[in-house]
Amino acid sequence: MDLNGKIVLVVGGAGGIGLGIASALATEGCRVAIADSNEEALVNAAKAGGGDSEFLWQTCDITKRKQVSQLFKWLGDELGPVDILVNSAGINVGNRMMSNIDPEDFDHVMEVNTTGTFNCIHAALPIMRQKGSGLIVNIVSLAGKRAMLLAGMPYCVSKFAASALGTFVNLEECGNGIKVTNIYPGETNTPIVDKRPSPPPPEKRVKMLQPEDIAACVVTVAKLPDRAIVPELIITPTHMMIA
Q: Please report the sign of the dihedral spanned by the C-alpha atoms of residue 220, residue 226, residue 230, residue 231.
A: positive
Phi, psi for 171 (deg, rounded to 5) = -60, -40
Sketch out the chain's domains with CATH numbers: 7-240 (3.40.50.720)
Q: Does the structure show a pLDDT above 90 at 1?
A: no
Could you say which of 72, 106, 118, 155 is catalytic? Answer: 155
pTM of structure: 0.95
Catalytic site includes residue 155: yes
pLDDT of 215 above 60: yes
With cut-offs at 50, 70 and 90, classify the pLDDT of residue 192: confident
Instruction: Measure the CA–CA gap between 33 and 54, rounded to whole angstroms.
Output: 9
Neighbours of 97 (CB within 10 A): 11
- Has residue 237 got a pLDDT over 90? yes
